[in-house]
Amino acid sequence: MKKSLEVLVTKNAMSVISDPSKATATKKAVERAMEFAEGVDFRGPRTLMIENCPLGVHVDPKRGIVVILSKFAGWPGVTDDLVNELIPFTTAVALA
């Protein structure tokens, strides 16, 4: 059985998600975060930058987190140091 992961959203990503004019572009990132929150079959951290979307999704199964972040914060990749810096500025969300 896969372990569920906690979903965190950075402040910048939350402002993008909250903007109704960007709903179509951000939908894919939220869908991916929902899929990853149900658990993953890989062990190492991965970052998914979604085409035509201002957001990315970082998954770290060892930490038990999925982080939705702006591409500005996460491009070209997300390091452990960056995740450590971002976590205090994230909001935990429940995706239904």
- pLDDT tens track for 66-94: 898 887 655 666 777 888 888 898 999 88
Whether residue 54 has a cis bond before it, omega within 30° of 0: no
Backbone dihedral angles phi then psi of residue 40, each to the nearest 5 degrees: -135, 160
pLDDT at position 1 is: 43
Q: How confident is the model at residue 8 (pLDDT cuts 50, 70, 90)?
A: very high
pLDDT at position 76 is: 64
50 CB-contact burial (10 Å; exposed 0-12 / middle 13-18 / buried 19+):
middle
pTM across the whole model: 0.82
pLDDT at position 75 is: 62
More confident residue, 54 or 25: 54
29 CB-contact burial (10 Å; exposed 0-12 / middle 13-18 / buried 19+):
buried
